[in-house]
Amino acid sequence: MSWEFRRVSVRVPATSANLGPGFDSLGLALSRHDDITLEVTGSGLEIEVTGEGAEVADRGEDHLIVKVVRRTFELLDELSGSPVGQPPGLRLSCVNRIPHSRGLGSSSAAIVAGLTAARALHPAGALLDEAAALALATEIEGHPDNVAPCLAGGLTIAWTTPAGPRMVRLDLDAEVVVFVPEQRLDTERARGLLPAVVPHADAAANAGRAALLIAALTGRLDADVLLDATEDRLHQEYRAPAMPESAELVARLRAAGVPAVISGAGPTVLAFTTRSARDSIGAKVGNGWHKHPLTVDADGVCVRPDGS
């Protein structure tokens, strides 16, 4: 085996994790995307970033996508038994539309995009199956709730076992609106606000609500139960001090009957809605938020091997 001088293009969706009660387990792929192109070259490393994250284009080998690509190449060399080593050079081009540090899975998108592009370029890429891709993405990200829908699309339920992470994918036809603030919130800071233990009653309530949410989102119950189904007691209240405006918006929307939640670790707010209700919801939000009506991305990460 040897390297070929070619390129691949990858499109990867934004994601929203938790969806209220599904802490670290539920994830939804959304119709906002980053596009990357990765090319094997004769030497060196070139990185070009347009849009979100342009300020980190000069990180070189410390750029997240580059680190993921290198790690994937190493793993594929191990799996193949006939290593080709790192390619002589790489050119990475990113067009980023997913807001960074806002709870819409930008780091998972970068991880999945890099992993997928590396699989497509490496001569032994086929050896990394879907289960192994989920395991590697989870190892890098730390938890599977965002990488799962990023890989598979739709609505995913992810969990971990002694043998590694697993997921199931469910089809979902739904519309949401995300309200993105200007300020960012580091995911690790948000996780640091969570308590080591929670009351048994709160854990039990979330388990029931998470089950109800799956039934509601997959069409097994009337949509009007979504408000109850998106109730959370495990993470949103504890994180509220780090994003008071987002917490206040969620409370205000829910008081008006809108199933609203914090997206991922925040501070973006996600509301389940219908096309006819979008304007009325937007009127309740006010200024200071970027409003993005989105649908569910059914495909997850997509590769165009010809580099188009």
Q: How far apart are CA 121 and CA 207, in angstroms?
A: 42
Burial of residue 42, with CB atoms counted within 10 A of its CB: 0-12 exposed, 13-18 middle, 19 or more buried: exposed
Was 280 annotated as part of a binding site? no
Was 163 annotated as part of a binding site? no
Was 102 annotated as part of a binding site? yes
Q: Are the beta carbons of 18 and 230 closer than 8 angstroms?
A: no
Residues of each domain in the chain carrying CATH 3.30.230.10: 7-171
Decide if pLDDT at 305 tops 70.
Answer: no
Task: Give the pLDDT score at 24.
Answer: 94
User: CA nearest 97: which of 88, 86, 106?
Assistant: 106
How far CA 57 is from CA of 10, 101, 118, 140, 300, in Å, comes to: 18, 16, 19, 20, 25
E strands in 82-154: 89-96
- Domain 7-171 classified CATH 3.30.230.10? yes
E strands in the chain: 7-18, 22-41, 44-51, 89-96, 155-161, 164-170, 175-181, 260-262, 269-273, 289-295, 302-304
Task: Give the pLDDT score at 308.
Answer: 45
**Lowest mean pLDDT across 80-84, 219-223, 255-259:** 219-223
Was 33 annotated as part of a binding site? no
Decide if pLDDT at 80 tops 90.
Answer: yes
Was 123 annotated as part of a binding site? no
- Domain 175-295 classified CATH 3.30.70.890? yes
Q: How far apart are CA 302 and CA 151, in angstroms?
A: 9
* Residues contacting residue 180 through CB under 8 Å, at least 6 positions apart: 99, 102, 104, 268, 289, 290, 291, 292
CA 127, chain centre distance (Å): 24
- Calculate mean pLDDT across residues 112-136: 96
Residues of each domain in the chain carrying CATH 3.30.70.890: 175-295
Was 103 annotated as part of a binding site? yes
Q: How far apart are CA 146 and CA 108, in angstroms?
A: 6
Give per-residue pLDDT as tens, 46-71. Answer: 999 999 988 888 889 999 999 999 99
Task: Give the pLDDT score at 282.
Answer: 72
Was 109 annotated as part of a binding site? yes
Beta bridge partners of 161: 164
Task: Give the pLDDT score at 221.
Answer: 61
Backbone dihedral angles phi then psi of residue 260, each to the nearest 5 degrees: -115, 145
Was 99 annotated as part of a binding site? yes
Which amino acid makes up residue 243?
A: M
Give per-residue pLDDT as tens, 172-207. Answer: 988 899 999 999 988 888 888 999 999 999 999 999
Decide if pLDDT at 105 tops 80.
Answer: yes
Mean of per-residue pLDDT scores for the chain: 93
Was 104 annotated as part of a binding site? yes
Was 263 annotated as part of a binding site? no
